[in-house]
Amino acid sequence: MTTSETKNPSDSVESKCLSVRIADIMSKDIITVAEDDSIENVIELFEKHHFHTYPVLNADGELVGVIDQNIILEVLMFDRISRTKHTHMAAVRSLGEDAKSIMISHPVTITSDIDLCDAADMMLKHHINRACVVDDGKLVGIVSKRDVINEVYRTRGMG
Protein backbone atom coordinates (compact mmCIF):
# COMPACT_ATOMS: atom_id res chain seq x y z
CA MET A 1 0.00 0.00 0.00
CA THR A 2 1.44 3.38 -0.96
CA THR A 3 1.40 6.39 1.31
CA SER A 4 -1.43 7.95 -0.67
CA GLU A 5 -3.52 4.81 -0.15
CA THR A 6 -2.97 4.74 3.61
CA LYS A 7 -6.06 5.90 5.43
CA ASN A 8 -5.71 8.33 8.27
CA PRO A 9 -7.55 6.85 11.29
CA SER A 10 -8.84 10.31 12.19
CA ASP A 11 -10.84 10.22 8.95
CA SER A 12 -12.82 7.13 9.98
CA VAL A 13 -16.59 7.30 10.25
CA GLU A 14 -16.34 6.50 13.94
CA SER A 15 -13.96 9.36 14.69
CA LYS A 16 -16.20 11.73 12.74
CA CYS A 17 -19.29 10.45 14.58
CA LEU A 18 -17.55 10.88 17.91
CA SER A 19 -17.01 14.55 17.12
CA VAL A 20 -20.69 15.29 16.39
CA ARG A 21 -22.87 16.10 19.39
CA ILE A 22 -26.61 15.55 19.50
CA ALA A 23 -26.98 19.26 20.29
CA ASP A 24 -25.79 19.89 16.72
CA ILE A 25 -28.50 17.81 15.05
CA MET A 26 -31.48 17.69 17.42
CA SER A 27 -34.73 19.53 16.76
CA LYS A 28 -35.02 22.38 19.22
CA ASP A 29 -38.46 23.65 18.24
CA ILE A 30 -40.53 21.18 20.19
CA ILE A 31 -44.27 20.98 20.45
CA THR A 32 -45.20 19.50 23.79
CA VAL A 33 -48.30 18.25 25.52
CA ALA A 34 -49.28 19.10 29.09
CA GLU A 35 -50.11 16.03 31.15
CA ASP A 36 -53.62 17.39 31.79
CA ASP A 37 -54.37 18.06 28.09
CA SER A 38 -57.41 16.19 26.84
CA ILE A 39 -56.99 13.28 24.45
CA GLU A 40 -58.93 15.32 21.87
CA ASN A 41 -56.31 18.10 22.10
CA VAL A 42 -53.52 15.56 21.67
CA ILE A 43 -55.19 14.05 18.60
CA GLU A 44 -55.60 17.54 17.14
CA LEU A 45 -51.83 18.07 17.54
CA PHE A 46 -51.16 14.89 15.58
CA GLU A 47 -53.47 16.11 12.84
CA LYS A 48 -52.06 19.64 12.78
CA HIS A 49 -48.30 19.03 13.03
CA HIS A 50 -47.74 15.50 11.70
CA PHE A 51 -45.03 14.58 14.20
CA HIS A 52 -44.76 10.96 15.28
CA THR A 53 -44.21 11.60 18.99
CA TYR A 54 -45.02 14.36 21.45
CA PRO A 55 -43.25 14.84 24.79
CA VAL A 56 -45.54 15.21 27.80
CA LEU A 57 -44.56 17.77 30.45
CA ASN A 58 -45.85 18.24 33.98
CA ALA A 59 -46.77 21.61 35.52
CA ASP A 60 -43.09 22.19 36.41
CA GLY A 61 -42.03 21.71 32.79
CA GLU A 62 -40.39 18.35 33.47
CA LEU A 63 -40.58 15.53 30.97
CA VAL A 64 -42.89 12.86 32.37
CA GLY A 65 -43.73 10.83 29.28
CA VAL A 66 -44.33 10.66 25.54
CA ILE A 67 -47.33 9.97 23.36
CA ASP A 68 -46.70 8.41 19.97
CA GLN A 69 -48.83 7.43 16.98
CA ASN A 70 -49.15 3.84 18.19
CA ILE A 71 -50.80 4.96 21.40
CA ILE A 72 -53.25 7.23 19.59
CA LEU A 73 -54.19 4.50 17.13
CA GLU A 74 -54.58 2.00 19.97
CA VAL A 75 -56.88 4.40 21.86
CA LEU A 76 -58.96 5.18 18.79
CA MET A 77 -59.23 1.56 17.64
CA PHE A 78 -59.28 -0.31 20.95
CA ASP A 79 -62.57 -2.05 20.16
CA ARG A 80 -61.10 -3.40 16.90
CA ILE A 81 -57.68 -4.57 18.03
CA SER A 82 -57.06 -8.26 18.43
CA ARG A 83 -57.87 -9.78 21.81
CA THR A 84 -54.23 -10.81 22.07
CA LYS A 85 -53.36 -7.11 22.12
CA HIS A 86 -55.87 -6.39 24.91
CA THR A 87 -53.35 -5.82 27.65
CA HIS A 88 -54.09 -4.17 30.96
CA MET A 89 -52.27 -1.04 29.77
CA ALA A 90 -54.26 -0.93 26.50
CA ALA A 91 -57.50 -1.18 28.48
CA VAL A 92 -56.44 1.58 30.87
CA ARG A 93 -55.43 3.81 27.97
CA SER A 94 -58.74 3.20 26.18
CA LEU A 95 -60.53 4.69 29.20
CA GLY A 96 -58.14 7.61 29.58
CA GLU A 97 -59.29 11.18 29.41
CA ASP A 98 -56.03 13.10 29.45
CA ALA A 99 -52.46 12.86 28.22
CA LYS A 100 -51.19 11.55 31.54
CA SER A 101 -53.51 8.55 31.37
CA ILE A 102 -52.31 7.40 27.94
CA MET A 103 -48.64 8.45 27.83
CA ILE A 104 -45.63 6.17 27.98
CA SER A 105 -44.01 6.97 31.30
CA HIS A 106 -40.24 7.02 31.65
CA PRO A 107 -39.32 7.74 28.02
CA VAL A 108 -35.83 7.04 26.73
CA THR A 109 -33.78 10.20 27.10
CA ILE A 110 -30.29 11.33 26.21
CA THR A 111 -28.30 14.48 26.92
CA SER A 112 -27.33 17.02 24.30
CA ASP A 113 -23.61 16.34 24.77
CA ILE A 114 -23.85 12.65 23.78
CA ASP A 115 -22.03 11.89 20.54
CA LEU A 116 -23.60 10.63 17.33
CA CYS A 117 -22.10 7.12 17.67
CA ASP A 118 -23.57 6.63 21.15
CA ALA A 119 -26.97 7.93 20.03
CA ALA A 120 -26.99 5.53 17.07
CA ASP A 121 -25.94 2.63 19.31
CA MET A 122 -28.69 3.46 21.82
CA MET A 123 -31.38 3.68 19.11
CA LEU A 124 -30.34 0.35 17.64
CA LYS A 125 -30.06 -1.38 21.01
CA HIS A 126 -33.46 -0.20 22.28
CA HIS A 127 -35.27 -0.27 18.91
CA ILE A 128 -36.44 3.33 19.19
CA ASN A 129 -37.02 5.89 16.47
CA ARG A 130 -36.58 9.02 18.54
CA ALA A 131 -35.30 10.14 21.91
CA CYS A 132 -36.04 13.16 24.05
CA VAL A 133 -32.99 15.27 24.79
CA VAL A 134 -32.89 16.37 28.42
CA ASP A 135 -30.29 18.57 30.11
CA ASP A 136 -30.45 19.43 33.81
CA GLY A 137 -33.92 17.91 34.04
CA LYS A 138 -35.37 20.06 31.25
CA LEU A 139 -36.41 19.01 27.75
CA VAL A 140 -34.18 20.78 25.24
CA GLY A 141 -34.83 18.84 22.04
CA ILE A 142 -35.77 15.68 20.23
CA VAL A 143 -33.54 13.62 18.00
CA SER A 144 -34.95 11.14 15.53
CA LYS A 145 -33.38 8.12 13.92
CA ARG A 146 -33.73 10.01 10.64
CA ASP A 147 -31.63 12.87 12.09
CA VAL A 148 -28.94 10.37 13.11
CA ILE A 149 -29.01 8.55 9.76
CA ASN A 150 -28.75 11.82 7.82
CA GLU A 151 -25.79 12.98 9.90
CA VAL A 152 -23.95 9.64 9.71
CA TYR A 153 -24.50 9.65 5.95
CA ARG A 154 -23.17 13.21 5.73
CA THR A 155 -20.11 12.41 7.89
CA ARG A 156 -19.32 9.46 5.63
CA GLY A 157 -19.05 11.97 2.80
CA MET A 158 -22.04 10.61 0.96
CA GLY A 159 -24.45 13.46 1.41
What is the predicted pLDDT for the residue at 30? 93
Is it the case that residue 159 has pLDDT exceeding 60?
no
77 confidence band (pLDDT: 50, 70, 90) = confident
Residue range 112-151, pLDDT digits in tens: 999 999 999 999 999 999 999 999 989 999 999 999 999 9
Within 13 Å and on the Cβ side, how many CA atoms surround 36? Answer: 4
94-98 long-range CB contacts below 8 Å, 24 or more apart?
96/39, 97/38, 97/39, 98/35, 98/36, 98/37, 98/38, 98/39
- pTM of the entire structure? 0.79
Residue range 96-117, pLDDT digits in tens: 689 999 999 989 899 999 999 9
What is the predicted pLDDT for the residue at 50? 81
Is domain 12-155 in CATH 3.10.580.10, yes or no? yes
Query: Rounded mean pLDDT of the chain?
Result: 84
Rg of the chain in Å (alpha carbons): 19
